[in-house]
Structure formats: C-alpha cells, structure tokens
C-alpha cells in the first residue's frame, strides 16, 4: 500500500498568521495537509514508474495552451506510461507557511521547529494532497526516487526534518497534481500544447519562478 494524505480544511482567518505572501490569504479556504503513512486512510498515491518515457523530464506549456490552470507552466513528470501520466507544476508558488504552525495544526507538535516553507500549486487534480519533491540525500521508507537525484516523499517526517535542519538539501512542497488519462497527454503533445525538455535539479528547485518557464522553454530541441 502507498502512503495517504488526508485533508483538513481551516478558514483563512484562523490561519492568518501562518500563511503569507503570493495571495494565499485571499483564498476562502486554506488547505492544510495531514500526511499519514497509514494504509486505508485515503486514496493511495499513484504508482511511480521510473521507466516511463517522460518520467523525470519537464513538460512545458506552449503558447497554444490557453487553459488558465496550465498557462506557461513547467511540469516535472513523476510518471508517464501506458496507463496515463502524473506531474507536479514547479513554477506556481502560492504562499509561505510557518513549519511550527503547520506541525501544531496537524497535531504533530511544532516545538523546536523553526523556519517557513513555500507552498506551491502542483496542479488542479486532488488539491487536498501534498507532495515533496526533493534531492535524494534525504530518504525514508516511503521515498520514491524518480530520476537524476530527484525523489518524492509524502509522509510528515520530512516536514519535521526540514524544520530541524536534517531534511533534504533542496525541496519543493506542492499541493495537488497534474494528471492525464491513458493516451491523453500524447494527444495534447501532438496538438502542440506541450513540449518535453530535459529536467535537472537546478531548474526543478530554482526559486526564480518568473523566469522558470522561459528557461525551460529554451531547452527545446529545434526540429529540422
């Protein structure tokens, strides 16, 4: 069984001191994620396949893609195989959260934990789920290595590790994900909505979000 994520909904007013920046306060409901490694507590995390053709690469939205949920997005591909595809948008920050407040609200105890974490919009599917992309210097039992030194973890231990300074060297926390049914992504690529380009640690975790799309798009291979 795979780790699960259970959603807690709290009004924006009650979390006013915990989240700040990037317009997150303006949301009517703030999503706080309780990540549990208990089978049956919710929907399972989709299986991560490392051998899929676009796994570990970027999907970059072209100017042909006008869907506001995906305009000028850079998606890091977690899975892509015959059953479908899954990825996380890595260039849409939402706002900052204090780690200690998050841990306290999740009932995990925030004493001795310092610092903040930036919450990202990972995609429109299942926004009650949280995912940590991170470097492979940090691993726990549920960690799944994707490719080229990048891994994904969903269990709450990583929150405490980051706050205690024992977490991964680099990380990105996203809520929700981008998902495609079997054959859907291939059709969108054929229609010119996306281009696939190489991904690496430097650009996955780059904090210059305004330039991330341009930098990823510059990696396109020119077809002669």
CATH code (residue 129): 3.40.1740.10
Question: Sign of dihedral through CA atoms 140, 6, 159, 27?
Answer: positive
Contact partners, residue 114, CB within 8 Å, separation at least 6? 99, 100, 163
d(CA 149, CA 144): 11
> Does 3 fall in a domain?
no
| Inside any domain, residue 31 | no
Mean pLDDT of 147-154: 94
The confidence score (pLDDT) of residue 147 equals 94
pLDDT at 150 over 60: yes
Q: Is 9 inside a domain boundary?
A: no
Burial degree of 210 (CB within 10 A; 0-12, 13-18, 19+): exposed
E strands, 68-124, are 74-81, 84-89, 93-98, 116-121
Work out the number of other CB atoms within 10 angstroms of the CB of residue 128. 17
The proportion of the chain whose per-residue pLDDT surpasses 70, expressed as a percent, equals 75
Report the share of the chain in percent with pLDDT over 90. 58
Number of separate domains in the chain:
1
Residue (of 2, 38, 29, 15) closest to 175 by Cα position: 29
Q: Tell me, what's the pLDDT at 74? A: 98
> Is residue 73 domain-resident?
yes
Round to whole Å and give the CA distance between 162 and 78: 22
In a domain, 27, yes or no: no
- Domain assignment present for residue 32? The answer is no
Q: Are 156 and 105 in contact (CB under 8 A)?
A: no
Which CA distances in Å does 79 have to 41, 59, 118, 149, 182?
Answer: 23, 12, 24, 16, 12
pLDDT band for 154, please (50, 70, 90 cuts). confident
Query: What's the pLDDT tens digit per position in 45-77?
Result: 444 444 447 999 999 999 999 999 999 999 999
The whole domain housing 138 covers 46-217
Distance of CA 174 to the CA centre of its chain: 3
The pLDDT score that the predictor gives to residue 100 is: 85
The model carries a pTM of 0.77
- The answer to whether residue 139 scores a pLDDT higher than 60 is yes
Higher pLDDT, 141 or 53: 141
Q: How many CA atoms lie within 13 A of 173 on its CB side?
A: 25
| Residue 34 located in a structural domain | no
**Residue 223 falls in which region: left (phi positive, over 0), alpha (psi -120 to 50) or beta:** beta
Q: In this structure, is residue 16 part of a structural domain?
A: no
What is the reported pLDDT for 109? Answer: 78
The whole-angstrom separation of Cα 145 and Cα 204 is 15
């Amino acid at each position: 069984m795979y780790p699960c994520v259970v959603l807690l909904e709290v009004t924006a007013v009650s979390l006013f001191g915990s989240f700040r920046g990037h317009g997150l306060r303006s949301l009517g409901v703030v999503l706080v994620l309780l990540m549990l490694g208990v089978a049956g507590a919710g929907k399972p995390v989709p299986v991560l396949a490392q051998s899929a053709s676009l796994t570990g690469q970027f999907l970059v939205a072209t100017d042909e893609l006008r869907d506001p949920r995906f305009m000028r997005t850079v998606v890091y591909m977690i899975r892509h195989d015959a059953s479908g595809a899954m990825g996380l948008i890595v260039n849409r920050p939402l706002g900052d959260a204090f780690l200690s407040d998050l841990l306290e609200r999740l009932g995990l105890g925030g004493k001795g934990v310092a610092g903040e974490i930036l919450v990202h919009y990972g995609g429109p599917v299942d926004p009650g789920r949280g995912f940590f992309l991170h470097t492979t210097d940090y691993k726990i039992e549920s960690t799944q290595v994707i490719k080229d030194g990048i891994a994904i973890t969903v269990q709450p231990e990583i929150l405490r590790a980051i706050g205690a300074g024992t977490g991964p060297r680099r990380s990105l926390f996203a809520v929700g994900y981008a998902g495609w049914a079997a054959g859907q992504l291939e059709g969108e690529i054929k229609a010119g909505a996306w281009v696939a380009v190489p991904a690496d640690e430097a650009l996955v975790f780059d904090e210059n979000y305004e330039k991330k799309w341009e930098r990823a798009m510059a990696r396109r291979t020119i077809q002669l």
